[in-house]
Structure 1
Amino acid sequence: MATIMVVDDSKTVRNYHGAILKSQEFEIIEAENGMEALEKSLDADIDMYLVDVNMPIMDGYSFISDLRKQANYKTVPVIMVTTQEKEEDKISAYKVGANLFETKPIKPDLLKSYVDILVKS
Structure 2
Amino acid sequence: MPETAAPPRILVIDDASLVRRYYRDALERAGFRVDEALNGIEALELLLRSPYDLLVVDVNMPKMDGLTFLRTLRAREEPLRAVPALVTSTEAGEQDRDSARAAGANFYLVKPLSEDVLVAHAAALSGWRR
Shorter-chain TM range is: over 0.9
Q: Would you identify which runs of 4 or more consecutive aligned residues in structure 1 move more than 6 Å?
A: none
Shift of 1:75: 2.1
> Partner of 2:79: helix, strand, or coil?
helix
CA distance in 1, matches of 2:28, 2:119: 11
Q: Give 2:41's aligned residue.
A: 35
- Which one of the candidate residues 93, 99, 107 is aligned to 2:114? 107
TM (norm. structure 1) is 0.95
When structure 1 is superposed on structure 2, of 68-77 and 17-26 the one drifting more is: 68-77
> Partner of 1:115: helix, strand, or coil?
helix
Give unmatched runs, 5+ long, in structure 2: 1-6
> What is the aligned-residue RMSD (CA, Å)?
1.0
2:43 corresponds to which letter in structure 1?
A: A
Give unmatched runs, 5+ long, in structure 1: none
CA distance in 2, matches of 1:74, 1:34: 14
Q: Give 2:124's aligned residue.
A: 117
Higher radius of gyration, 1 or 2: 2
- Which one of the candidate residues 64, 83, 105 is aligned to 1:76? 83
Shift of 1:88: 0.8
CA contact (8 A) 2:91 2:110 kept: yes
TM (norm. structure 2) is 0.89
Shift of 1:26: 1.3
Q: Deviations over 1:24-78 (max 9, x none)?
A: 2111110000011001111111100000111000000000111112221222110
Residue 97 of structure 2 is aligned to residue 85 of structure 1: no
Aligned length: 121
CA distance in 2, matches of 1:116, 1:9: 23
